[in-house]
């Protein structure tokens, strides 16, 4: 890789894709060209190929539990509506009127048997079928008009895994089960937190930051930044710990979980999965600071000790390219939406196991407010760092980024004693103490990015 290449020497996208990532596993090298975060042409290509060229997360089935419920989202540049029809079936559609293109559904979510386009009142039912073309009989259309479908266009691929809904604007994608692979077991673990599954706490927050979408992607997997970026949050935790009424954390791990010798000294780690998904995690004992603490025993009886203990672990899961679930004392679902090379929207929800006590729910929401969102003690710190990085990335005169190096020498293929507890076999893993802070899991993002980009370029070349 030419370290002095500048923004002025932009190459065609297909050759640029390979040039962005200096990926030489045999040499222990992984570096990223800074233009990955700034180049407008590359950004447009990745919106087409990464977001509009494969599976992306859309939302949760529990957001639309009743017949005719719907929510609207976005895949790349395309407005999407996901609806539950009168028979209870879920469908994903392009939210664009076949008449003159207007968005049909205007709200973030709602319930409606019929959707009337705001421009000329063409009408669609909750299965996307056209139910009315205003003044059709008087319209003097040619017969060719009647040969057209006037329905909303269905997504070429739309599928559900255990309440998690995904869609794709291209049809030639692997089955969702293959796309999620072993990472699906982490989604399943989330839904198993309650025998009745999970639900969203009402309300959501969307915010933008002046930075590239991949900064958010990486940050959720970045254990290295925590003590540097969030000192005020850590100070608050320290002060709270001094309060005499705070109970001492109780380690279920040490008391009744016979981890093997392999786990000695381990404080967490990371897993990489096929298709770009990753988990970074921390070994956390069950403590009264966790809203599930009152159910330690019940969880153990229902799920066994392995899954019970994983539920109390800190788990940051990314399902490439746009979904993140952050689980600690609070649980956050995020959708990442790229808007411009230097502008990203993040939409967030607090989710929770159904049926938890009012006290546990209150504790969960308080923890959530503490840490997350533009009003919390962590999100603004992170956003400031993204904007600092974006400003720094603008300099094409500095060599490739070196922040992909930690953990290379500790990476092992397959799973380990911890993933075994979930019956899960990742592609690779790193076990870490409190300071290793693996950065190899970003490699997984960028290898999936490269695969989608190459496939998209090939698809366009054939079109």
Instruction: Out of 102, 162, 251, 267, name the contact with ligand FES by CB under 6 A.
Output: 102
Site map for Fe ion, 58-97, x if CB under 5 A? ----------------------------------------
Q: 62, exposed or middle or buried, with CB in 10 Å at 0-12, 13-18, 19+?
A: middle
The two structure tokens encoding residue 23: 């990926």
Shortest Cβ 437–Fe ion spacing (Å): 12
> If binding means CB under 6 A, how many residues of this protein chain bind ligand FES?
10
CB of 134 to ligand FES, least distance (A): 7
Between 86 and 118, CB nearer to ligand FES? 118
Residue 97 in the binding site for ligand FES (CB under 6 A) = yes
Looking at residue 155, the DSSP 8-state letter turns out to be: P
Binding mask 113-132 for ligand FES (x = CB under 6 A): ----x-xxxx----------
Query: Which two structure tokens, joined as six digits, stand for 5?
Result: 């290449």
Closest approach, Cβ 121 to ligand FES, in A, equals 6
Contacts (Cβ under 8 Å, ≥6 apart) of 442: 30, 218, 221, 403, 404
Q: Of 92-100, 225-233, 287-295, 309-317, which part binds ligand FES (CB under 6 A)?
A: 92-100
Least gap, CB of 86 to ligand FES (angstroms)? 22
Binding-site partner at residue 382 among Fe ion, ligand FES, none, CB < 5 to 8 Å by type: Fe ion
In degrees, rounded to 5, the angle at the alpha carbon of residue 305 between the alpha carbons of residues 300 and 307 is 90
Distances (CA, A) of 48 to 27, 75, 92, 242: 32, 10, 19, 52
With binding defined as CB under 6 A, does residue 100 bind ligand FES?
yes
Choices 14-22, 185-193, 349-357, 381-389; region in contact with Fe ion by CB under 5 A: 381-389
User: Smallest distance, Å, CB 406 to Fe ion?
Assistant: 16
Q: 164 vs 445, which CB is nearer to Fe ion?
A: 445
Nearer to ligand FES, 107 or 206 (CB): 107
Residue 17 CA: distances (Å) to CA of 31, 49, 198, 215: 13, 12, 39, 18
Q: Does 145 bind ligand FES (CB under 6 A)?
A: no
166 binds, among Fe ion, ligand FES, none (CB under 5 to 8 A by kind): none
Among candidate residues 283, 257, 251, 258, the one with its CA nearest the CA of residue 269: 283
- Residue 432 burial (CB < 10 Å; 0-12/13-18/19+)? buried
Closest CA to 395 of 34, 43, 22, 40: 34
Structure tokens at 45: 């290509």
SS3 call for 346 = strand
Angle between helical axes of 296-303 and 305-312 (0-180°, round to 10): 140
- Kindly state the smallest distance separating residue 99's Cβ from ligand FES, in Å: 3
**Shortest approach of ligand FES to residue 462 CB, angstroms?**
31
Residue 122 or 281 with smaller CB distance to ligand FES: 122
Q: How far is CA 195 from each of CA 190, 199, 290, 301, 371, rounded to the nearest angstrom?
A: 11, 12, 18, 12, 27
Q: 272, 278 in Cβ contact below 8 A?
A: yes
Measured from the CB atom, is 13 or 220 closer to Fe ion?
220
Q: Which is nearer to Fe ion, 334 or 447 (CB)?
A: 334
Q: Rounded to whole angstroms, what are the CA distances from 184 to 60, 81, 239?
A: 14, 24, 38
Do residues 269 and 280 touch, judged by C-beta distance below 8 A?
yes
Q: 97 vs 336, which CB is nearer to ligand FES?
A: 97
Q: Total residues at the site for Fe ion (CB under 5 A)?
A: 1
Pick one of ligand FES, Fe ion, none as the site partner of residue 97 (Cβ within 5 to 8 A by kind): ligand FES
Q: Is 382 in the site for Fe ion (CB under 5 A)?
A: yes
Which entry of ligand FES, Fe ion, none binds 117, CB below 5 to 8 A by partner kind? ligand FES
Output the smallest distance, CB 97 to ligand FES, in A. Answer: 3
Nearest CA to 280 out of 218, 238, 348, 230 is that of 218
Task: Considering the complex, state which of residue 107 and residue 298 has its C-beta at the smaller distance from ligand FES.
Answer: 107
Buried b (16+ CB within 10 A) or exposed e, 129-150: ebeebeeeeeeeeeeeeeeeeb
327 binds Fe ion per the rule CB under 5 A: no
Distance in Å from the first CA to the final CA of the chain: 31
- Which residues here bind ligand FES, judged by CB under 6 A? 97, 99-102, 117, 119-122
- Which residues here bind Fe ion, judged by CB under 5 A? 382
């Amino acid at each position: 890789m030419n370290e002095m290449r500048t923004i002025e020497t932009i190459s065609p996208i297909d050759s640029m894709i390979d040039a962005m990532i200096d990926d030489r596993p045999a040499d222990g090298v992984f570096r990223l060209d800074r233009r990955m975060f700034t180049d407008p042409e590359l950004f447009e290509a990745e919106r087409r190929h990464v977001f509009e060229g494969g599976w992306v997360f859309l939302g949760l089935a529990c957001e639309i539990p009743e017949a005719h419920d719907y929510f609207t989202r976005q895949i790349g540049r395309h407005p999407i509506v996901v609806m539950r029809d009168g028979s209870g079936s879920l469908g994903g559609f392009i939210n664009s009127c076949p008449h003159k293109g207007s968005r049909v559904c205007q709200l973030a979510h709602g319930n409606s048997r019929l959707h009337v386009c705001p421009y000329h009142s063409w009408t669609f039912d909750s299965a996307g079928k056209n139910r009315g073309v205003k003044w059709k009989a008087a319209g003097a259309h040619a017969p060719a008009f009647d040969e057209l479908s006037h329905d909303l266009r269905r997504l070429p691929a739309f599928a559900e895994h255990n309440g998690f809904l995904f869609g794709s604007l291209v049809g030639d994608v692997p089955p969702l089960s293959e796309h999620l692979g072993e990472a699906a077991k982490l989604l399943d673990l989330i839904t198993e937190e309650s025998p009745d599954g999970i639900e969203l706490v009402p309300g959501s927050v969307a915010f933008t930051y002046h930075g590239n979408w991949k900064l958010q992607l990486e940050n959720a997997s970045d254990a290295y930044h925590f003590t540097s970026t969030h000192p005020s949050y850590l100070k608050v935790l320290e002060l709270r710990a001094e309060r005499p009424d705070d109970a001492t954390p109780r380690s279920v791990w040490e008391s009744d979980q016979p981890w093997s010798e392999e786990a000695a000294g381990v404080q967490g780690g990371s897993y990489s999965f096929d298709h770009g998904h990753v988990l970074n995690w921390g070994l956390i004992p069950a403590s009264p600071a966790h809203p599930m603490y009152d159910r330690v025993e019940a969880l153990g009886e229902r799920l066994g000790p392995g899954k019970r203990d994983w539920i109390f672990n800190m788990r940051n899961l990314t399902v490439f390219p746009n979904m993140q679930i952050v689980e600690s004392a609070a649980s956050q679902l995020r959708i990442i939406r790229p808007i411009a090379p230097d502008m990203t929207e993040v939409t967030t929800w607090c989710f929770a196991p159904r049926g938890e006590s009012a006290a546990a729910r209150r504790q969960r929401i308080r923890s959530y407010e503490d840490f997350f969102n533009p009003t919390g003690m962590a999100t603004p710190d992170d956003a400031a760092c993204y904007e600092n990085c974006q400003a720094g990335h603008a300099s094409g005169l500095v060599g490739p980024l070196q922040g992909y190096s930690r953990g290379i020498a500790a990476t092992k293929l397959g799973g380990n004693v911890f993933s075994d507890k979930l019956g899960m076999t990742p592609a690779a893993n790193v076990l870490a103490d409190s300071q290793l802070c693996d950065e190899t899991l970003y490699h997984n993002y960028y290898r999936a990015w490269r695969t989608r980009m190459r496939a998209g370029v090939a698809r366009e070349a054939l079109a």
